[in-house]
Structure 1
Amino acid sequence: MVKFNPSKRISFIAKRLFFIKIFVIITLTSLSQTTPPLPKLIPASPDAASLGRFGDIPVSYSTGLPEISIPIYQINIGKIQQPISLNYHAGGVRVNDISSSVGIGWSLNAGGVITRSVVGKADETGYLTLPTESDLLANTSAYYGPLYLGSDWEPDVFNFNINGQSGKFYFNKDQSVFQIPLSNNKIEYIPATQTAQGYFKITDVNGLVYLFDKQEWSSTNGTDSYISAWRLSKITDINTQDQIVFNYEQGSDFETIRSDAATFTNTPNCSGSAASFSYNLLQTTLT
């Protein structure tokens, strides 16, 4: 004779209810998430961007871009040689390109610059910060919101141009620098303090140290401000201590009006085909 044990059935029903409850919670959590905002792309000023473009699309026979340069002068201090020239980038003129102070497509090479195109958020502290396991277990809802809406998932793009050398680099998650293409130049970022903004140092194979600590600022909607370029302020020969110092004057401000529009069509009950999406970008430049 088989005896019925009601405790086993109650335990089985309780397990089913427990799993159903977890499934409902996960479903409601996923449905309650809000669509993330469109990424912010903040360019540098036209003069800085014209120099940074040589790092973005290098001039060489392999890229099919000729070197077009008009020499003006050259500064010689010991082993330091700093040419001053007008350079033209033959990579084409984009529709929304803004002319630099020496003409569209042209750049005045009189030192050097590091430009940065902000993607999402500024990367001075690394472009992706994940919560700890204890934070995740302690407050799941507080974790999902910043993760889905506020985290910076893409690195900013940095371009440098110094003394005939150009290239591109990114910050890794640990704030170290990753160069593209790899080179023997040493690129260092010195973090900001309570009294000074962060800046860059580049040391080349000839023992010349390039200091970039003159900042250019960009902002969106007049609120979020970011450093979009670091200008070269000093070249030092670490062997002889010879130096070239660069001084700058306040230049003109440039304003770009950007309008983003996004349209979403919701599919009821989360079934059927995927939601449709359309996006239009309008941009007008004031000079």
Structure 2
Amino acid sequence: QVASNVGLGWSLLAGGVITRTIRGTMDSDDPTIPQPIWHTQENFIETKWQAEQSDNNTNNLFTMAMDQVADNDAEPDSYNYSFLGYSGDIYRKYNTDQTISLKLYPDKSFKIDKITPGYRIIANDGIVYLFQTTEWTGVNTTSWFLSEIKTPQGGHVQFQYADDFSWDCTNYMTTGYYGVSKSKRITRIDFDYGYVPVS
């Protein structure tokens, strides 16, 4: 048996990613752009249903709400994270003061911030994880890969990636356009005392 870059009988699970699943149309990362009310108001549809059932003077509130949802972006995008043994969902809340609050589940005590470009997660032990290497489908960013780790003691790890492109030609004959996706493949991990090539 031939040894890999990390040793005979060993495999390397490296890096991490924050992934966005676009549901309907892409949600804006700009908190100053108004979001559909059902993305920000809990139980929007249920509230309209209950109001319509309890008061005959509020006819069609539920139907109008359903029409409003059906004609627009019906669901908020979903966000997930996975890195170094941690994984879960990211809850995004659009606040009335035109900011976006972010919270990780189940790792609620970790801090997450939107930065340009990407995200920063700070774990309970003070280690900082930067997700700034982007992957996209069409014109939408769909993933932010782990690009750097910083420890409170000054240690530091960087992840290098190569681009892989793919083309979707299924609609080319009818539209004249084809979809392009850019994905990422980890190629190297740099740390304070050297590096590990990843093939």
TM-score above 0.5, yes or no: yes
* Alignment match, 2:162: 249
Q: CA deviation at 1:73?
A: 4.0
The alignment of Structure 1 onto Structure 2 pairs a total of residues equal to 131
Point out where structure 1 has 5 or more consecutive residues left out of the alignment: 1-70, 75-82, 86-108, 131-143, 193-197, 220-224, 259-287
Q: In structure 2, do the counterparts of structure 1 residues 182 and 236 end up closer, same or farther at CA, with 3 Å as the change threshold?
A: closer
Residue number in structure 1 paired with 2:196: none
Q: Residue 173 of structure 1 aligns with which residue? A: 94
Distance 2:79 2:36 in 1: 20
Q: Is contact 2:104-2:110 (8 Å) kept?
A: no
1: CA distance between counterparts of 2:101 and 2:169? Answer: 32
Question: Does structure 1 residue 236 correspond to structure 2 residue 141?
Answer: no
Contact 2:110 2:124 in 1 (8 A): yes
The AA in structure 2 aligned to 1:158 is Y
Identity of aligned residues (%): 28
Q: C-alpha separation between the residues in 2 aligned to 1:152 and 1:114?
A: 22
| Aligned equivalent of 1:40 | none
Task: State the AA in 2 paired with 1:173.
Answer: Y
CA-to-aligned-CA distance 1:93-133 (integer Å, 9 cap, x gap):
xxxxxxxxxxxxxxxx3211111101122221368245xxx
In the alignment, what sits opposite 2:81? 160
Q: CA RMSD in A?
A: 3.2
The alpha carbon displacement at 1:84 in A equals 6.1
Higher relative strand content: 2
Runs of 4+ displaced beyond 2 Å: 71-74, 125-130, 147-153, 178-183, 254-258
Change (3 A) 1:256 1:242: farther
Structure 1 residues 200, 149: CA separation in 2 closer, same or farther (over 3 Å shift)?
Answer: same
Match of 2:112 in 1: 187
TM, length-normalised to structure 1: 0.39
- Alignment correspondent of 1:115: 19
Cα deviation, 1:56-81, whole Å, max 9, x if unaligned, reads: xxxxxxxxxxxxxxx9849xxxxxxx
Is the alpha carbon distance of 1:84 and 1:230 closer, same or farther for their aligned partners in structure 2, counting shifts above 3 Å? farther
Is 1:226 the equivalent of 2:140?
yes
Any conservation in 2 of the 1:118–1:156 contact (CA below 8 Å)? yes
The answer to whether the Cα contact below 8 Å between 1:84 and 1:111 also exists between their aligned partners in 2 is no
Q: Distance in 2 between matches of 1:253 and 1:158?
A: 23
Distance 2:145 2:154 in 1: 21
Any conservation in 2 of the 1:215–1:229 contact (CA below 8 Å)? yes
Q: Give the direction of change, closer, same or farther, for the CA distance of 1:148–1:116 in structure 2 (3 Å limit).
A: closer
Name the CA distance, whole Å, in 1 between partners of 2:106 and 2:140.
Answer: 26
Are the aligned partners of 2:103 and 2:111 in contact in 1 as well (CA < 8 Å)?
no
In the other structure, the counterpart of 2:128 is: 209
Structure-2 change in CA distance of 1:84 and 1:159 (3 Å): farther
Show CA shifts across 1:26-47 (max 9, x none): xxxxxxxxxxxxxxxxxxxxxx
Cα distance change, pair 217–159 in 1 and its aligned pair in 2 (3 A): same
Tell me what 1:128 maps to. Answer: 35
Give ranges in structure 2 of 5+ residues lacking alignment. Answer: 38-64, 172-199
Given that 1:116 and 1:156 are in contact with CA atoms closer than 8 Å, whether structure 2 keeps it comes out as: yes
Relative to structure 1, the CA distance from residue 150 to residue 201 in structure 2 (aligned partners, 3 Å threshold; closer, same or farther) is farther
Quickly say closer, same or farther: Cα 1:125–1:153, change in 2 above 3 A. Answer: farther
Structure number with greater Rg is 1
Change (3 A) 1:129 1:184: same
Q: In 1, Cα distance between the equivalents of 2:14 and 2:136? A: 20
